[in-house]
Amino acid sequence: MRRIQVLGTGCPKCRSLTANVETAVKALDIAATVEKVQKIADIMKFGVMMTPALVVDGQVKSAGKVLSVEDIKAFLA
């Protein structure tokens, strides 16, 4: 099972990225957990300075932008 984390404090961009991640997971029909990481201290542990950020299986894939569903699918495929 894939572990996908969206790092962000709950801003509109963070919510958009979360929605796009959930859409991509459904479209690919993969087993994955999608977690929101909202505490600043927890976000800082990833070394991320800009949110929203996408972490897949412990690796930061993107920071500071809202990825499209297609971009997310590319990271998960």
Query: Which residues are part of the catalytic machinery?
Result: 11, 14
Q: How many whole angstroms separate alpha carbon 16 and alpha carbon 76?
A: 18
Q: How many whole angstroms separate alpha carbon 25 and alpha carbon 11?
A: 21
